[in-house]
Structure 1
Amino acid sequence: MDLREFKRLTGEIMVTAYAGIAVFADVVLLIFKMLYYVVESIFWLIFPVEEKNVSGEVVLITGAGHGIGRELALQYATLGAKVVCWDLNENGNKETAEEIKKINETASVYTYRCDVTNREEVIRVAAEVQRDVGDVTILVNNAGIMPCHTLMDHTPEEIRKTFDVNVIAHFWMLQTFLPSMIKKNHGHVVALSSMAGIAGLPNLVPYCGSKFAVRGIMEAIHLELRDAMLPKQLNIKFTCIYPYMVDTGLCKKPKMRFPTLFSLVPPKTAAAEIVKAQRRNVQEASIPSVFFHINNIFRNFPDKVPLLVRDFLDSGVEAD
């Protein structure tokens, strides 16, 4: 072996060794960071992070004319936010605004009729909001529908509408309101999924599919913006909420073996938990909060174990 060949082989060995050491160092650093964040999460579980101030923020809520949307509007207005109510139901929207004004005559509340499944209409009404109120800084995608039938009883129109309202509308809202948040690197997006977006349920096949989709959208857009903003820190937060059955009228025939444990959640309670999660920058939360963790635990068991638990609890919805 001549000197030149020896130097080449030595160089290759050194490069390989250096790469191996670098990977080893990265693995050690990864483990250290993972342990740090585990300890940090335990700390915040014991000592919850302080809820951030939303006074002066422009909060847009879809489906604000009733149920959770109305309660969200009331609670954000009480906290001093400028509340923008979107709904197809103009009368419901007006009633929400009137309730807010009864609590505080000086509260800033604006109502707009908008079909969130219509991209052109979303863009048009968003321009009105920007002109009248300013840039939306907290977007709450709350609007949703929940037809309850067996899959074979769903009409094609009903399935399409479920996905238009529960999924497609999210894309139009995100494409419309994220640019101003990205420009300022400030904002928060909240999306209402469901426990039916965590675990499938009979008589809700299209609804479950739509709510599983919401979870994927929120996780993916968060990661996409995080990568796009590097090396800067992303200051646009994302919160995905998974409520159990809420007493809004959507769930007409709830079924529960233990009603004291699995009673319908009052809209006011659900809204309070959503606002709290948003103000604490929680990325995912169920209502009640324990449900999310229980599901994660049972997903680690053999497939038949969660089925046994479901059969025992016998909770869900009957077909309309």
Structure 2
Amino acid sequence: MHVLLCVVMMVPIALYHYVQELVKLFIPKKKKSLTGEIVLITGAAHGLGREMACAFSKHQCKLVLWDINKQGIEETAEECRKLGAVVHTYVVDCRKREDIYRTAAKVKKDIGDISILINNAGVIATGHLLSIKDEQIQSMFEVNALAHYWTVKAFLPAMLERNHGHIVTVASCAGFAAVPFMVTYASSKHSAIGFHRSLTEELYWLRKDGIKTSCLCPFFINTGFVKDTPTRTFPLLETEHVVNKLMDGILTDQKMIVVPQGFKFFFSIERLLPESVLRFCERAETEWVNKHRNQYQRNNQIS
């Protein structure tokens, strides 16, 4: 009886919030200011990380750039300085927890408390599961998933104390789906999405509404790591487009930023469709993939 009563009460409440969200679609979202924020970006030496750094530079942020590639982050820093940003660089191996903690302590001593944390560093290796080396599997989880724990544990305490901050988890559309030849990568991104969602809930229950969280889930990006896609439906994305969507999401405190946005529909409908329908769609897609398998494998060096 109690459960039935709860269901009955939830219906009008749910309808009210659905209408509220529908109305919000037609109202421009207010954007917050990022001026003066101290932004730390991991994996800032190239690709998405470099584009992010340049984007934050235009908002008068102080930048802290991390990467294992010293030459790469210095090149990123130079680009950001030309845009007027104050930039600090640190060589960090995000596979190593001790290196993250040690460098985080140095950052807090040298610069101060980080207010925006972008966990962007990522590793990818494509191939049949049995062809991926054990050390590659371990590396993907160390960087794509575990590193998020160590950076957040290092910088979250100051955010909690001030009830101010923003934590961005860079995941992937692969974290919502099953991707052939990318079993480990997709699994690590599933973990990153779960981390974001659980952290968001924990901050809610701690009543720390001043600390925002966002999760970026793009389709495959044209950064050189993946040169082709295992699907005919969506082409590779350009970094500038993805970062524009990310910045808009951060400025408006969006929790989940999916690029392209149409993927949200696919992920939602997948839960509602019967398995037989999904299998039919998969077969059609698989036939196309098999037809183009040789080119795809050559482009992405799949064994």
TM-score by length of 2: 0.89
Q: Which has the larger radius of gyration?
A: 1
In 2: Cα distance, 1:89 partner to 1:33 partner: 51
SS of 2:135's equivalent in the other structure is helix
| Residue in structure 2 matched with residue 7 of structure 1 by the alignment | none
| Residue in structure 2 matched with residue 75 of structure 1 by the alignment | 55
Q: Cα 1:151–1:234, aligned 2, differ >3 Å: closer, same or farther? A: same
1:238-317 to structure 2, matched below 5 A, reads 238-257=213-232, 262-313=234-285, 314=288
Quote the offset at 1:221 in angstroms. 1.3
For this pair of structures, how many residues does the alignment match? 292
Q: Cα 1:235–1:156, aligned 2, differ >3 Å: closer, same or farther? A: same
Quote the offset at 1:311 in angstroms. 4.1
| Residue in structure 2 matched with residue 85 of structure 1 by the alignment | 65
1:47-66 to structure 2, matched below 5 A, reads 47-66=27-46
TM-score by length of 1: 0.85
Q: Is the Cα–Cα contact under 8 Å of residues 116 and 172 in structure 1 kept in the other structure?
A: no
1:116-155 to structure 2, matched below 5 A, reads 116-155=94-133
User: For residues 200-247 of structure 1, what are the alpha-carbon distances to aligned partners after superposition, in whole Å with 9 as ceiling and x for unaligned?
Assistant: 110000001100011111111111222133xxx522111111100100
Between the aligned residues of both structures, percent identity stands at 34
Quote the offset at 1:35 in angstroms. 2.6
User: Which amino acid in the other structure matches residue 224 of structure 1?
Assistant: E
User: Which amino acid in the other structure matches residue 123 of structure 2?
Assistant: I
Unaligned ranges ≥5, structure 1: 1-18
- 1:110 and 2:110 aligned: no
User: Which amino acid in the other structure matches residue 52 of structure 1?
Assistant: K
Q: Is the Cα–Cα contact under 8 Å of residues 245 and 265 in structure 1 kept in the other structure?
A: yes
Quote the offset at 1:40 in angstroms. 2.2
Q: Cα 1:47–1:306, aligned 2, differ >3 Å: closer, same or farther? A: farther
Quote the offset at 1:131 in angstroms. 2.3
Q: Is the Cα–Cα contact under 8 Å of residues 116 and 166 in structure 2 kept in the other structure?
A: yes
Q: Is the Cα–Cα contact under 8 Å of residues 167 and 212 in structure 2 kept in the other structure?
A: yes
SS of 2:253's equivalent in the other structure is coil
Pairwise CA RMSD of aligned residues? 2.2
1:79-228 to structure 2, matched below 5 A, reads 79-104=59-84, 107-228=85-206
| Residue in structure 1 matched with residue 210 of structure 2 by the alignment | 235
In 1: Cα distance, 2:13 partner to 2:157 partner: 32
User: Which amino acid in the other structure matches residue 304 of structure 1?
Assistant: S
User: Which amino acid in the other structure matches residue 219 of structure 2?
Assistant: Y
In 2: Cα distance, 1:307 partner to 1:242 partner: 24
Unaligned ranges ≥5, structure 2: none
User: For residues 66-111 of structure 1, what are the alpha-carbon distances to aligned partners after superposition, in whole Å with 9 as ceiling and x for unaligned?
Assistant: 000000000011111111111000111000011112233xx21111
Quote the offset at 1:28 in angstroms. 6.2
In 1: Cα distance, 2:273 partner to 2:168 partner: 31
